Amino acid sequence: MTAEVILKLSNVESAYGPIKAIRGVSLRVERGQIATVLGSNGAGKTTILKTISGIIDPRKGTVEFKGMNITAQDPAYIVQRGLVHVPEGREVFPLLSVHDNLLMGAYTRRDRDAVLRDLETVYHYFPILKERERQEAGLLSGGQQQMLAISRALMAAPELMLLDEPSLGLSPKLTKEIFEIVVRINRERGTTMLLVEQNANMALNAA
Ligand code: ATP
């Protein structure tokens, strides 16, 4: 039996005004995989992820998720279908508490009991977030903010998670910890991961 293709890009081209950032990008990810996109600064990795999650509308090509054409759909619609994006630089809400950041990740969900269970799961993966749950997210360290960004995405109960350079600015030790958790989430929850990295060694080890 062949595995389900959860994500498929065909000949995608995206631009910022006159600047063509990516062209002719085709890729496929199978359900349950950890897949990685490698490339140097400015190669267009972030643009690929933004095009998948609907933040940028492509000029050409198609994006399919679970067989649905989601090209240029509204990002909120795409999140509700089960695809979440952990952006480069974390982008946590600095003035909200850790706890409220996590609940923001679940804001489209109506299954309250399952949300509370997922909150416990996230605190189980990252005990430091439980310790800091009442603290403003802006006061966390860079590594802790990365943990929070991943956790906030998990609160949307995703089937596919896009991770943009989770190792950015982190020490080798913290990077290793983050990658271990990503692999663990993939194994335990079956979440498919598409990982963008400059840190090719870490990414290839995980993928
Ligand atoms: P990095 O590893 O540095 O994050 P990247 O591979 O993710 O790089 P992108 O951020 O996707 O690369 O950028 C691809 C190209 O698009 C680059 O040439 C960049 O300068 C350009 N670009 C990105 N964002 C914008 C923008 N908002 N306006 C204009 N050009 C942009």
For the stretch 65-93, pLDDT in tens is 999 999 999 999 999 999 999 998 889 99
Nearest residue (CA) to ligand 1, atom 11: 44
DSSP of 153-187, one letter per residue?
Answer: HHTT--SEEEEE-TTTT--HHHHHHHHHHHHHHHH
Of 12, 37, 38, 47, the one to substitute when testing ligand 1's pocket (max ligand atoms within 8 A of C-beta) is 47
Quote the CA–CA distance of 45 and 54 in Å, as a whole number.
Answer: 15
Give 127-148 pLDDT, tens digit per residue: 999 999 999 999 999 999 999 9
CA 46 to ligand 1 centroid distance, Å? 7
Nearest residue (CA) to ligand 1, atom 15: 21
* Predicted structure pTM score: 0.92
Nearest residue (CA) to ligand 1, atom 28: 16
Beta strands 83-86 and 34-38, pairing class: unpaired
